[in-house]
Amino acid sequence: MKNIAVIGAGTMGNGIAHTFAQFNYNVQLIDVSQVALDKGIATISKNLDRMVAKEKISEADKIKTLANITTFTSIKDGVKYASLVIEAATENEILKKKIFKELDEVCPEDTVLATNTSSISITQIAAVTNRPDKVIGMHFMNPVPIMKLVEIIRGYNTSDEVMKFTTDLTNKINKVSVAVNDYPGFVANRILMPMINESIETLYNGVAGVAEIDTVMKLGMAHPMGPLQLADFIGLDVCLSILNVMHDGFKNPKYAPCPLLVNMVMAGKLGVKSGEGFYNYSAGKKSDTVANMFR
């Protein structure tokens, strides 16, 4: 089992492709945009360069890793020989269901279909396919090449065999797998997002400023990154999407996104990726934010 297809060449997708390629899997990186694919490969190359500079890998390792990745703009062509497909598209339920319906039609019958969703129901995604027993969640953490955790989310119909296959594969790429049941937000975001949202509420209500809130959590609670800086790193649009999924799923007002978060997303202040969020990122600072994660 050496062929892994990854749908989406963005932050998560290129990180997943990087990780599997580094462990000598053949990776088919798929995106409808050639520009996104080129940018994804450039990001992988840059992150490998950082690892070479830190003497974590050799130059030969970098060359081999990049050689293990092939890019495609067609899902049908890219998944032809895949034993596992990992979807890492935008956190949008309609889009993900559309992708999974197409994957079900064009993938070999025994191909396992995984989604990197951080909050959307695996069971609902699986329902649009004719292989719900072979659909599973693999929620990687950002940045994927560095972060150890992968939440393995079992949908209502996910088989024991697919659960074991996915868990074993996760361990083979030197990640720590944690089995999670299929409820909105799973474990990571069910705990993390209310904390981020409450931090935004604290700012919104004028209790303290951005730097002060982050300093309290870093120095008082031993968090490596303050919650507002972390929200910028994740993407404020992603945070909003996850909170909306949990609010819709649980109908509990504690998951309702703070109005400040909603307004910032509407204004295009999305964090690191847009250049401004709770912090203002010049080109240099933006690069440093990501580079620091690879130290």
Q: What is the spatial distance between Cα 98 and Cα 128, in angstroms, rounded to a whole number? A: 8
Q: What is the spatial distance between Cα 84 and Cα 206, in angstroms, rounded to a whole number? A: 48
**Tens digit of pLDDT at every position of the chain (295 positions):** 689 999 999 999 999 999 999 999 999 999 999 999 999 999 999 999 999 999 999 999 999 999 999 999 999 999 999 999 999 999 999 999 999 999 999 999 999 999 999 999 999 999 999 999 999 999 999 999 999 999 999 999 999 999 999 999 999 999 999 999 999 999 999 999 999 999 999 999 999 999 999 999 999 999 999 999 999 999 999 999 999 999 999 999 999 999 999 999 999 999 999 999 999 997 655 444 443 443 3
Of 263, 259, 260, 285, nearest in space to 272 by CA: 285
Strands (DSSP E) along 47-95, which ranges? 69-72, 84-87
The torsion region of residue 219 among left (phi > 0), alpha (psi -120 to 50) and beta comes to alpha
Contacts of 256 (CB under 8 A, 6+ apart): 243, 247
pTM above 0.85, yes or no: yes
Options 3, 14, 116, 118, the catalytic residue: 118
One domain for residues 153 and 18: yes
Catalytic: 87? Answer: no
The domain of 26 spans 3-181
Does residue 21 sit within a domain? Answer: yes
Does residue 106 sit within a domain? Answer: yes
The CATH number of the domain holding residue 273 is 1.10.1040.10
One domain for residues 227 and 117: no
One domain for residues 30 and 66: yes
One domain for residues 161 and 66: yes
One domain for residues 170 and 199: no
Catalytic: 287? Answer: no
Of 125, 100, 97, 96, nearest in space to 111 by CA: 100
Options 3, 14, 68, 139, the catalytic residue: 139
Q: Which amino acid is at 106?
A: V
Does residue 17 sit within a domain? Answer: yes
Catalytic: 189? Answer: yes
One domain for residues 47 and 165: yes
Q: What is the pLDDT at residue 284?
A: 58
Within 156-218, where are the H helices? 160-172, 188-204, 210-215
The CATH number of the domain holding residue 80 is 3.40.50.720
One domain for residues 49 and 133: yes
Cis peptide before 259 (omega within 30 of 0): no
Does residue 186 sit within a domain? Answer: no
Options 189, 199, 241, 274, the catalytic residue: 189
Question: Of 181, 209, 231, which marks where a domain is finished?
Answer: 181
Catalytic: 276? Answer: no
One domain for residues 52 and 168: yes
Does residue 246 sit within a domain? Answer: yes
Q: What is the spatial distance between Cα 207 and Cα 218, in angstroms, rounded to a whole number? A: 17
Q: What is the spatial distance between Cα 273 and Cα 288, in angstroms, rounded to a whole number? A: 13
One domain for residues 219 and 271: yes
Question: Of 181, 211, 241, which marks where a domain is finished?
Answer: 181
One domain for residues 48 and 118: yes
Options 121, 151, 197, 274, the catalytic residue: 151
Burial class (CB in 10 A: 0-12, 13-18, 19+), 207: exposed
